[in-house]
Amino acid sequence: MLYICSIKLKILKTLLDIENWNRKEHFLFFKQMEEPFFGATVEIDCTKAYQAAKGLDCSFFIYYLHKTLVAVNTVESFRYRISEDTIVVHDTVNGSATIGREDGTFGFSLIEYNADFTIFKKNALTEIERVQNTTGLFTRTFEEDNVIHFSAIPWLNFTSLSHARSYSFPDSSPKISFGKMMVAENGKRTIAMSVHVHHGLMDGLHLGQFIDYFQEIMNQ
């Protein structure tokens, strides 16, 4: 069964004052590049997070997707998006995750963020079920760019990752991916996390702040 889903979400956003932004020159410099994205792959300790997910009777995928979105919505630069010559600051960023199907294909989803994990889990399960009961790659429309592009590669413990991208398509959404969870002899669990971001919107400092905060809330 194939159908296109369109859901209108209330979008709240403001414009960044670029003229008085201390990164104005950085923005103008990196914005003109054919490949303005940069990224890093890090190892995340997910021992406590995995236990917490199981205690909530929740898939680990949904749990760390929620923690990712908590961090994304906390670190302001991850809510910046480029719109022609302006920068939009979204109040809320959602997750567009790739959802796998039994036939080996996947489709793009739109999982609405909510700080309340119970509500988020319900939204996520509904959207995952919808995508898994469709065919094709695009099963819905995407009117706004207040999303992160999110994926999991649970078959591979990668140490670096690249993404397919069209340089002609105006894209400034962060791309976050997770690999295979590894278990050490002492029971410690780790997972590879790759984060790619637009250099016109942030630098290594901001990427580091995001990863540090994500690790902090995964340890709670």
Indicate if the alpha-carbon torsion angle 20, 68, 99, 127 is positive or negative.
Answer: negative
- Using CA atoms, how far residue 9 sits from 93, 110, 119, 123, in Å, is 11, 11, 16, 13
Length of the chain: 220
Q: What number of CA atoms fall less than 13 Å from residue 19's CA on the CB side?
A: 0
Measure the CA–CA gap between 57 and 29, rounded to whole angstroms.
47
- The single residue of 90, 163, 199, 206 carrying the catalytic annotation is 199
The reply to whether 199 belongs to the active site is: yes
Residues 213, 74 contacting (CB under 8 angstroms): yes
Residue 142 gets the label, from left (phi > 0), alpha (psi -120 to 50) or beta, of beta
Q: How many CB atoms lie within 10 A of CB 56?
A: 13
- List residues with catalytic annotation: 199
